[in-house]
């Protein structure tokens, strides 16, 4: 198999590839210990120094012992067990470090779990400054529009919100073929990506076909997901991106939530940041492909086992020369003296099955006046009853510190959540800014912004005004625009927010019965037992 080829539909949605098995507590402890070592600065050069490594292990032992004790109902037993197993853990992890060094390429470091990668400094200072500047302008607009993330008490502002103006089965007008943009006039001009609805109905799918496109699970999926995890009414709209032979990214359709006519410089910046993260996505896709091949041959394999070429031949994935699809999200957590703490997020994977998001890429580009913040990754398991849960109740075994300039990419079958953090100086404001790229299965092409013209009524009116301004006086332009009537292909702000709320509510209900932590499952079982006892008596 060549390095550039991809197995069609190989990258299953996480709801299908989440393991039914569960690693032992010892294996989870080894994984965590390994990450404690790899997350230390200079591990790749110092791991041959026995005195340095000895100190690393002692520090890790103290930290791991505290974590084991706090997450166990039998503190003394847990600590005795850890002490007993420690020599084995030590040797096991030490033996693995040379293998991890073969994966390390100078910048990309294997993360705490299989299918996760971490890198610092991929985005240079100049590019970061452009990202901060461009994001700040869009953030001001989002704050004025009150685009706060629901249930965050005005702490998290959605700067680029993929859930706004998404595809709606009963409403969206979808082109039969994808929009082909013209060549841009200059480097920072991305207006060519924007397209609006035409009056020619022959260019659009019939409403019945739109419903089928969004709601029907494709026949060519390797293992179709449970129907409850496929949203029949809504779909996030990714942007189409071409990766050229040099590894440079080029948007060929608009980013939903980012108006190209006003934010061309930010489009260019996003492309350059994505350039830096594409090798990380390739690493994750290679692990997914390799693990899939190995599992098909002889059961699931770990990174260490995969280092043995006799087990499986690793064919590295290359995205160069291919079209990919990414959902773009940008958010800022804003803390103030009056609202000074972020309580953390919920365990989740990104998207529903119809979005087919295979990997998540996060870039942290600005922190100010906040305590240490972490991204928690959790081993995810599907029980025999179909319930997805975080192994061991999600005891935060695998935390990645989210320092500015750090990029993290991981497969979407790994659950993740934001850890709690707060203001460092409680008398001053603070923030954390994050950019996310959610990669759609490269072996599939889902409905994207190339086939859904801009749905924002205010943007359409602005386009009309811009054209008429060259022909008519301003007062006549306003008069003409006042006679325009909004068709159902466009949404005003109020209606878009209503549909967005309905989408979130529907998905929350769909996932409520399929995604639980171990603790929630035990609580549910106890509740059912109490109800049975109350109903049947003793």
SS3 content of the chain, % helix, strand, coil (to 5): 40, 20, 40
Share of the chain above pLDDT 90, in %: 41
Given this model, what pLDDT does residue 433 score?
A: 98
Q: Is the pLDDT of residue 301 over 90?
A: no
Mean pLDDT of the region 471-485 = 84
Q: Do the beta carbons of residue 365 and residue 130 sit within 8 Å?
A: no
Residue 364 has pLDDT above 90, yes or no: yes
The per-residue pLDDT for 2 is 39
Whether the per-residue pLDDT at 298 is higher than 50: the answer is: no
Q: How confident is the model at residue 309 (pLDDT cuts 50, 70, 90)?
A: very low
Give pLDDT, residue 11.
Answer: 54
188-202 pLDDT per residue, tens: 789 889 888 887 778
- pTM for this one? 0.85
Average pLDDT over residues 218-231: 75
Average pLDDT, the chain: 81
Say what the alpha-carbon torsion angle 437, 441, 444, 445 is, to the nearest 10 degrees. Answer: -10
Exposed (0-12), middle (13-18) or buried (19+): which is 90, by Cβ within 10 Å? middle
**Phi, psi angle pair for 299, to nearest 5°:** 95, 165
State the DSSP H helix or E strand holding residue 108, giving kind and residue range, or none if neither: strand 108-110
Could you read off the pLDDT of 160-193 as tens digits, one per residue? 999 999 999 988 999 998 888 877 767 778 988 9
Q: Which CATH class is domain 8-62+75-167+234-292+317-452?
A: mainly beta
Interval 362-385 mean pLDDT? 87
Residue 131 has pLDDT above 90, yes or no: yes
Residues 6+ away with beta carbon under 8 Å from 462: 261
- The three-state DSSP-derived secondary structure of 170-222 is CCCCCECCCCCCCCCCCCCCCHHHCCCCCCCHHHECCHHHHHHHHHCCCCCCC
**What pLDDT does residue 468 have?**
84
Query: Which pLDDT value is given to residue 188?
Result: 77
- Stretch 129-156: mean pLDDT: 95
Instruction: Specify the pLDDT at position 294.
Output: 47
* pLDDT (0 to 100) of residue 39: 78
Q: 48: Cβ–Cβ under 8 A, 6 or more apart, which residues?
A: none
């Amino acid at each position: 198999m060549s390095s550039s080829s991809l197995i069609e539909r190989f990258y299953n949605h996480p709801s299908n590839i989440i393991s039914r098995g569960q690693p032992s507590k010892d294996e989870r402890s080894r994984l965590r210990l390994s990450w404690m070592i790899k997350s230390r600065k200079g591990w790749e050069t110092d791991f041959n120094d026995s005195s340095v490594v000895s100190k690393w292990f002692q520090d890790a032992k103290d930290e791991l012992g505290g974590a084991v004790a706090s997450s166990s109902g039998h503190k003394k037993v847990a600590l005795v067990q850890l002490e007993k197993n420690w020599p084995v853990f030590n040797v096991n992890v030490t033996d693995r470090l040379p293998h991890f060094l073969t994966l390390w390429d100078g910048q990309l470091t294997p993360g705490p779990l299989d299918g996760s990668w971490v890198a610092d400094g991929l985005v240079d200072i100049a590019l970061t400054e452009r990202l901060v500047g461009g994001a700040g302008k869009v953030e001001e607009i989002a704050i004025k529009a009150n685009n706060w993330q629901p249930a965050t008490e005005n702490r998290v502002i959605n700067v680029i919100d993929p859930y706004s103006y998404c595809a709606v089965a009963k409403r969206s007008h979808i082109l039969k073929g994808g929009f082909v943009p013209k060549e841009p006039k200059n480097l920072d001009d991305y207006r060519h990506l924007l397209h609006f609805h035409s009056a020619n109905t022959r260019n659009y799918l019939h409403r019945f076909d739109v419903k089928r496109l969004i709601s029907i699970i494709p026949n060519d999926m390797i293992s179709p997901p449970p129907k409850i995890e496929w949203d029949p009414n809504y779909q996030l709209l990714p942007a189409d991106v071409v990766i050229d032979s040099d590894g440079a990214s080029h948007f060929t359709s608009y980013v939903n939530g980012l108006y190209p006519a006003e934010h061309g410089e930010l489009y260019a910046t996003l492309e350059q940041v994505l350039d830096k993260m594409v090798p990380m996505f390739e690493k994750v896709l290679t692990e997914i492909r390799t693990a899939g091949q190995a599992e098909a041959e002889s059961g699931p394999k770990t990174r260490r086992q995969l280092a043995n070429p006799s087990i499986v031949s690793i064919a590295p994935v290359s995205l160069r020369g291919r079209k990919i699809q990414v959902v773009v999200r940008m958010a800022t957590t804003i803390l103030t003296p009056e609202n000074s703490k972020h309580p953390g997020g919920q365990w989740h994977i990104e998207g529903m099955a119809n979005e087919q998001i295979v990997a998540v890429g996060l870039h942290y580009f600005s922190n100010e006046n906040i305590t240490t913040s972490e991204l928690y990754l959790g081993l995810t398991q599907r029980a025999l009853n179909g319930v997805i849960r975080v192994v061991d109740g999600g005891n935060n075994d695998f935390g990645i510190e989210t320092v500015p300039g750090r990029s993290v990419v991981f497969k979407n079958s790994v659950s993740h959540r934001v850890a709690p953090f707060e203001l460092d100086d409680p008398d001053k404001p603070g923030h954390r800014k994050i950019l996310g790229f959610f990669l759609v299965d490269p072996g599939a092409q889902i409905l994207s912004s190339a086939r859904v013209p801009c749905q924002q009524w205010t943007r359409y009116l602005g386009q009309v005004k811009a054209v008429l301004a060259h022909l008519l006086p301003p007062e006549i332009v306003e008069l003409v625009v006042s006679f325009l009537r909004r068709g159902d292909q466009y949404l005003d702000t109020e209606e878009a927010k209503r549909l967005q709320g309905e989408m979130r509510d529907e998905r929350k209900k769909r996932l409520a019965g399929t995604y639980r932590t171990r603790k929630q499952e035990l609580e549910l079982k106890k509740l059912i037992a109490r109800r049975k006892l109350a109903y049947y008596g003793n």
